[in-house]
Structure 1
Amino acid sequence: MGYKVAVVGATGNVGREMLDILAERAFPADEVVAIASRRSMGQEVSFGDKILKVQALDTYDFSDTDICLMSAGGETSKEWSPRIGQAGCVVIDNSSAFRYHQDVPLIVPEVNPDAITDFSKLNIIANPNCSTAQLVVALKPLHDVAKISRVVVATYQSVSGAGKDAMDELFQQTRSVFTAGQMTQEKFPKRIAFNVIPQIDVFMEDGFTKEEWKMMAETKKMLDPKIKLTATCVRVPVFIGHAEAVNVEFESPMSAEQATALLRSAPGILVVDKREPGGYMTPHEAAGEDATYISRIREDATVENGLAFWCVSDNLRKGAALNTVQIAEMLVNRKLLPRHQAA
């Protein structure tokens, strides 16, 4: 027998992507269950060539389920993930609810796979923020060789990171520009169509936003607590795909050629860097792809041992759903599930 997998938040952007990726990668599941809030009960979602009817979270029994992929938001996760874990089901949580909990491993398989063994106290594993996930995939092979001391990153984040309503708002506002229709603004603090917004999440006392703080805290937890990181996170009028301009300072020299070679051989990364018009990746091209793409690798002469590069990834996949499924695959491959049902 295979595994029983529940996807909580199955009607959302990331939940639907999780179902697609489970099917694409032929995850060894005998049964996949789509779960959401009571108001979505009875809706239908696709899983491969099957149609699943959505079940309600508050009435579902997790005691015979092996893995729960949780993508229903932080408040829902805070309430339900510990309960689900206590029922013997391992929760892989896509929200920020448990990322900084000392008993919950925060995992990107290409970066810190061995940390996964620490999940058993709460039966919860955390998935990082979408902007952090692609960043640490790119930083890890470089840090292993030349130790990173400081990172400065500016993100260009698509609206899908804020959910389906945010994508609808960009579409409606864009249409309104061309039709002189009414411009509605609900999801973002300013108009997003043909604009950029230098705020993602709420502001903190020091002037950084919560999104920027997440990148700092999560990079330290997964990669190295000694790394200093500062971020400016910007929402841009792109539907899918996050881009990042990354500047790195190392403790020892790192040439552009050496960095390119390291990145080319690293898992989960594809280098597209032709140093000619169009010889780089953009969010549009990365949408629907699993890889984290690196372009425009160059040395930064303004600091000692400096390097700059451009990093692009599909935020719904590697930034969320794909990484979650990869963690589930690690649980299976390392035989770490509390109740291993496979024959």
Structure 2
Amino acid sequence: MTDLADSTSDASLDRTRRRSAEIEEQIASDPGRFRVLTGDRPTGNLHVGHYFGSLRNRVRLQDAGVETFVLIADYQVITDRDGVGQIRERVLSLIADYLAVGIDPAKSTIFTHSAVPALNQLMLPFLSLATDAELRRNPTVKAELDASGDRPMSGLLLTYPVHQAADILFCKANLVPVGKDQLPHLEQTRVIARRFDERYGRAGDQPVFPRPEALMSEAPSLLGTDGQHKMSKSRGNTIELTMTAEETAKKLKRAVTDADRNITFDPTGRPEVSNLVLLTALATGRDPHEVAAEIGDGGGGTLKKVTTEAINEMLAPIRQRRAELAADEGYLLSVLREGNARANAIAEETLSEVREAMQMVY
């Protein structure tokens, strides 16, 4: 039995990173051999942390020729919440963000959980392939349980890793961009795929499901404007893609720095200052040490000014395109309908294969 905790050991991480480097080389020479699944929960507006951490990479993979599926995980909103909130507005907002940053619906499939019944039906056989102990060991499940206090954990939250496996396997994605924290989820998916084929007799023949691999994200570790915590919608320390240039300037003007006027890039010793330097470097495609040296003894005020100019310049075309998209709800809905139709066709085909392998075709 695979120990899911091993997926984040130092040796395993080294192997995964080496394999990711090999995959990047394969993408450059033969992108058509890969199918990627990625996505977001519609819980609020996307921000520059999302852009630098995942959105930009999705566009890169798509434009390289990798078939890409982008999931709007609307069902996952209710894993740990009492309601869905302004779900429709948030789903449409996500679609506008995706299209504005360069995700092309002609190349990528954008779809929602709730519109693909066959995907969710895969949860039933998959649940029989995962143990209660495995699910409770999952880092995300454990973290949510620890943070819940006296609140009972919902069955949907407990089975969150299985739902993610259904997300990945319904379209037979063989590549999933992940960070270190998501590796146990991907390992659970690989375990479910292997166990399905072992149990239902196709392991020695053509397996029903691929064993998806990790494309390790080298996403920068961005802090929020408070300089203390990861950029997070819930903490209100983000620079959202929907913000105006003026709102961005106001947010960065309140960003935390320190008393030393000499600007350096030292993420450990000066996290607040270094975070603004890193934001500037990412927005301009420069080395952060070079950015810091150029500002020199200009102090926090100059740093904030430089960062604001860099972020606003980078986001200007995205914001303009996004405003046009947000004003055309009919187009956003048409993109989603087309994506849902494609996802449904693939999910139904996969479910038919699953039924056949389980001898449940009557």
Place the TM-score, normalised by the shorter chain, in its bin: under 0.3
Structure having greater relative contact order (Cα 8 Å, sep ≥ 6): 2
TM-score normalised to the size of structure 2? 0.25
| Structure with the bigger percentage of strand | 1
| Structure with the bigger percentage of helix | 2
TM-score normalised to the size of structure 1? 0.26
